[in-house]
């Protein structure tokens, strides 16, 4: 078999591994002009997720919620599981096979058993010893599989509600909005889901450029394990606004920043979307008492970011904050105060000519005085084909949707509850340039929490986020998660048979 033949087979095999299905179709009699046919969208057959360790506080109470939307075209089989990220070491002197450590790790009871597609399932844990989790879903459980980790800490540094959507492992992450000030205790949590070690570099950028770090290079994350890195141990410089860049030299990891403040509470800071000349930060709570915007451009060129607020009535320019100047390689920040003024809002950032890429996030405060709490909203990817959020309730959930480029239609579906209820759906119109807090449908007879899926019904880009709220000791606890595409399907191009490529 010659090299060309092997390359063709390898290419088709790789495609099948990603999508679970690939085929070489016969030539189309009507498509003989060389024009490529439209790509097909097929359900993914395997999804991997990483959940960081929820908290080191003994007062932490954590709920995990798992949900897979029903997706047409999936096979009947498959399954999903969440297991503790436990480093498994095997003594080389022992014969091959399961070591005692391996057996113990495999016998650990999972934090929850994911349910059938269309039904959310929850699990709970308490205290500060809960590990990171590694998740895998296959077959009909894989498309759009979403896991939410929500933790409540009632006292101490970072007290508040910490919410994070478990994410797929990757090789690069940007976190604008972290800090190394004396009142901040910010950790980068690195979780390696694979069988080989990962090597990671952590770079920090402040208001004057790159911060000198001592041990930020060549951090080894062992297989099936998590490594917390305290930012203040990487540098002696104390700065309010820091951009963290995580680069994986070998392997892949899940990464998230847990930002904890002595007075202002804390939350997870998810990664910003990839550097871009146009960014959307969706779903700033309408009762926000303070909003601080942090931005960074990784290039050498400076950029003036145009700052606009997508309000319920349209795009407006905040008085006195129409632009933010960001110097190349330096972190810039500005206080936007109570920019939403009691209305739903999203930030829309645009580089002057769109050619300078930027990452950004906002820290949002709710409450006043000693009863303030904080959350973070990074620049987000659009909803795409479908986005999913879990752990919702009728009274304590706000779904915020913005369409900055044109009028859009969306369909929102509420799943059955974790303890019962019937699915419900509703369609909404989001006017161009606006942000709307949607009164989402509630499952009939719902018991427990439920999932919300957002599906655009038009080609206009849509961005969304979900806010969870509660009150503890007169402090307005809250957390915000953006709703990017859940990557439940993959685009597979149509192909035609061409036997000439098999010839020398």
- The pLDDT, as a whole number, for residue 309 is 97
pLDDT confidence bin for 84, thresholds 50/70/90: very high
Distance CA 410, CA 408 (A): 7
**Global pTM value:** 0.87
Of residues 190 and 115, more confidently modeled: 190
- The pLDDT, as a whole number, for residue 496 is 60
- Identify whether 364 is part of a domain: no
- Identify whether 38 is part of a domain: yes
Q: What is the pLDDT of residues 211-254, one digit of tens each?
A: 998 889 999 999 999 999 999 999 999 999 999 999 999 999 99
- Identify whether 325 is part of a domain: no
HSE-CB for 263 with a 13 A CA cutoff: 6
CA-closest candidate to residue 373, choices 305, 471, 301: 471
- The pLDDT, as a whole number, for residue 407 is 98
Distance CA 416, CA 331 (A): 44
pLDDT confidence bin for 3, thresholds 50/70/90: very low
On whether both 497 and 438 belong to a single domain, the answer is no
- Identify whether 337 is part of a domain: no
- Identify whether 130 is part of a domain: no
- The pLDDT, as a whole number, for residue 89 is 36
On whether both 400 and 445 belong to a single domain, the answer is yes
Distance CA 340, CA 354 (A): 26
- Identify whether 229 is part of a domain: no
pLDDT confidence bin for 8, thresholds 50/70/90: very low
pLDDT surpasses 70 at 406: yes
CA-closest candidate to residue 401, choices 319, 312, 300: 312
On whether both 455 and 498 belong to a single domain, the answer is no
- Identify whether 466 is part of a domain: no
| Dihedral class, residue 329 (left if φ above 0, else alpha if ψ from -120 to 50, else beta) | left
SS3 330: coil
Domain count within the chain: 2
Of residues 282 and 20, more confidently modeled: 282
> Could you list the residue range(s) of the whole structural domain that residue 406 is in?
387-460
Q: In what order do the strands lie in the sheet with 475-482?
A: 434-438, 397-403, 463-472, 475-482
pLDDT confidence bin for 454, thresholds 50/70/90: very high
On whether both 445 and 391 belong to a single domain, the answer is yes
pLDDT confidence bin for 466, thresholds 50/70/90: very high
Distance CA 291, CA 415 (A): 33
SS3 289: coil
Alpha-carbon distances, residue 358 vs 301, 390, 433 (angstroms): 11, 29, 21
The residues near 107 (Cβ < 8 Å, ≥ 6 apart) are: none
Distance CA 346, CA 403 (A): 10
HSE-CB for 353 with a 13 A CA cutoff: 4
388 alpha carbon, distance to own chain's centre: 11
CA dihedral 18, 21, 26, 27 (to 10 degrees): -40
- Identify whether 17 is part of a domain: yes
Q: What is the pLDDT of residues 316-329, one digit of tens each?
A: 999 889 999 999 99
- The pLDDT, as a whole number, for residue 22 is 34
């Amino acid at each position: 078999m010659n090299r060309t033949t092997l390359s063709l087979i390898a290419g088709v095999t790789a495609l099948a591994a990603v999508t679970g299905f690939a085929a070489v179709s016969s030539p189309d009699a009507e498509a003989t002009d060389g024009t490529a046919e439209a790509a097909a969208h097929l359900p993914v057959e395997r999804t991997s997720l990483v959940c960081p360790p929820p908290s080191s506080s003994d007062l932490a109470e954590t709920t995990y919620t798992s949900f897979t939307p029903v997706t047409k075209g999936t096979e009947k089989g498959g399954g999903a599981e969440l297991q503790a990220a436990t480093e498994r070491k095997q003594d080389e002197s022992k014969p091959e096979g399961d070591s005692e450590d391996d057996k113990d790790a495999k016998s650990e009871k999972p934090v929850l058993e994911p349910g059938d597609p269309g039904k959310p399932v929850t699990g709970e844990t308490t205290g500060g010893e809960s590990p990171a989790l590694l998740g895998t879903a296959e077959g009909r459980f894989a498309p759009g599989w979403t896991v939410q980790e929500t933790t409540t800490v009632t006292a101490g540094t970072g007290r508040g509600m910490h919410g994070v959507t478990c994410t797929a492992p990757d090789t690069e992450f940007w976190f604008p909005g972290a800090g190394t000030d004396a009142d901040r205790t910010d950790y980068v949590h690195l979780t390696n889901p694979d069988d080989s070690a990962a090597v990671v570099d952590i770079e920090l950028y402040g208001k004057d450029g790159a911060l000198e770090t001592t041990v930020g290079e060549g951090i080894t994350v062992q297989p099936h394990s998590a490594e917390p890195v305290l930012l203040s141990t990487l540098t002696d410089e104390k700065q309010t606004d820091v951009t963290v860049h995580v680069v994986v030299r070998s392997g892949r990891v899940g990464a998230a920043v847990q930002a904890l403040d002595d007075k202002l509470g804390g939350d997870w800071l998810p990664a910003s979307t990839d550097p871009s000349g146009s960014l959307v930060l969706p779903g700033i709570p309408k009762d926000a008492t303070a909003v601080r915007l942090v931005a960074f451009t990784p290039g050498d060129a400076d950029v003036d970011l145009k700052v606009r607020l997508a309000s319920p009535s349209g795009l407006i320019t905040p008085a006195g904050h129409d632009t933010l100047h960001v110097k190349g390689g330096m972190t810039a920040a500005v206080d936007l105060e109570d920019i939403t003024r009691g209305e739903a809002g999203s930030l829309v950032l645009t580089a002057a000519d769109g050619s300078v890429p930027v990452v950004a996030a906002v820290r949002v405060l709710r409450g006043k005085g000693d009863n303030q709490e904080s959350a973070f909203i990074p620049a987000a990817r659009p909803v795409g084909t479908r986005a999913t959020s879990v752990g919702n309730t009728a009274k304590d959930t706000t779904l915020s949707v913005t369409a900055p480029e044109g009028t859009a239609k969306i369909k929102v579906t509420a799943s059955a509850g974790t303890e019962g209820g019937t699915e419900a759906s509703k369609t909404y119109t989001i006017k161009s340039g606006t942000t709307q807090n949607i009164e989402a449908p509630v499952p009939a007879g719902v018991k427990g929490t439920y999932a919300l899926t957002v599906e655009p019904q038009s080609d206009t880009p849509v961005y969304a986020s979900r806010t969870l709220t509660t009150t503890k000791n007169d402090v307005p606890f809250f957390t915000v998660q953006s709703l990017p595409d859940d990557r439940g399907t993959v685009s597979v191009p149509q192909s035609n048979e061409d036997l000439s490529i098999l010839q020398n």
